[in-house]
Amino acid sequence: MFKIVRIHPSRSTDPVSDPVPPPEYKRRDFRNFIQSVRYAIEGFWAAVRHEPSFREDLIFVAVLTPIAVILPVKAVSTAVMLASLFVIIIAELLNSAIEWTIDDISLEKRPFAKRAKDMGSAAVFLAYINCAVVWGVILYSNWHRIETLEFRVCNVAVNRPGAKSTGQDFATNAKVGLHIDNHDKLLLSERQSAVQLLALNCGTSERFFNFLHLPVEELARQTGTSLDDPGEDRRQACQRLKDQFLAENPDYPITSVCLPPGYAYIATPQNLIHDGAASGSNVADVAFLMLGRYCWAGDRP
C-alpha cells in the first residue's frame, strides 16, 4: 500500500548571504585618457595601413581642406565645410570597424552580415552627399565673393630630401636655383600685378623659401636696365635682370623663411628673385602649390 506524505522543504539555518556586488567601474583618470588616446592613434594608423578606401578619403580631405581655408567665406562657413569633410573620415572609420568585426566572426556569406556592411557603406555615401550639399550651398551663397578671386592652377610638388633648390625649369627638367617665375609671360613693368603663389608644406619636415625682398621694378632701377624691350623674350628678360643684379650685388642679403609642416606662405614669384629648399632630413619634401589672387580676411569683400 502507498501512503501519501506531505514533505515540507527544510529551512536552512545558514545566515543569509550578502548580495553579489556590482562589477567595479573603471576609474576615469588621466592615465585612462592617455591610454584611450593611444588606442585611437593605433586605430587610425591601422585604417591607413589596411584600408585603401580610407586612404582615398584622406587624400580627398587633404586636397579640399586648404581650399576651404582659402575661400573668402565667413569663419562659421569655413568651420562647417571642414566639419563636413571630417564626417567622411568618421563614417569611413566606423564602416571599416563594422567590416573588420564581421569578417573576424566569420568569412562566410550571411544575409545579416551583408546587410550590416551595406548599412556601413550607406553611411559613407551619405557623408559624401552631405559634404557636397554643404559645399554647394556655401559656395552658391558666397559666389559674389569667390568670383572676385582668380584661381589658376594647383599642383603637388615632391622634391628629394635635402634638395638645395626646388625651382624647376620644365623645358629642361633641371633645377634652376634663384630665379624669377614667368607663368603669365608678363612684361617686366606688369609684374607688380601678377598672380600670387600659395605654397603649403604638406610634408613631415621643414622647407625653406629664400628670396630677395626687391620687386622687379626696383631691380631694374638699381641695375639701370630698361623694364621692357619689345623684341626680347619675357623669360630671357627675367634671366637677364636676375643675372645682372646678382653679378653687381654678389653680397646682397637673401631672406630665408622656414616653414614647418602645415605652414604656408603667399608670395608673388613673378615679381621676386626667389627659390625654395628642402631640409636635410631623410624624408621627401612635399608642397601643395596654388596660383591665384588672395587677400587678408579683413580685406574680403
Active-site residues, by number, are 92
Q: Name beta bridge partners: 258.
A: 208
All three cell numbers of 22, joined, read: 556590482
Contact 91, 127 (CB under 8 A): yes
**Distance in angstroms (rounded) separating the CA atoms of residues 253 and 277:** 17
For residue 232, count other CB atoms closer than 10 A to its CB.
13
Are 208 and 263 a contacting pair, CB within 8 Å?
no
- What are the CA-CA distances from residue 130 to residues 96, 123, 143 (Å)? 19, 10, 20
Other CB atoms within 10 Å distance of the CB of residue 230: 5
CA 103 from chain centre, in angstroms, equals 32
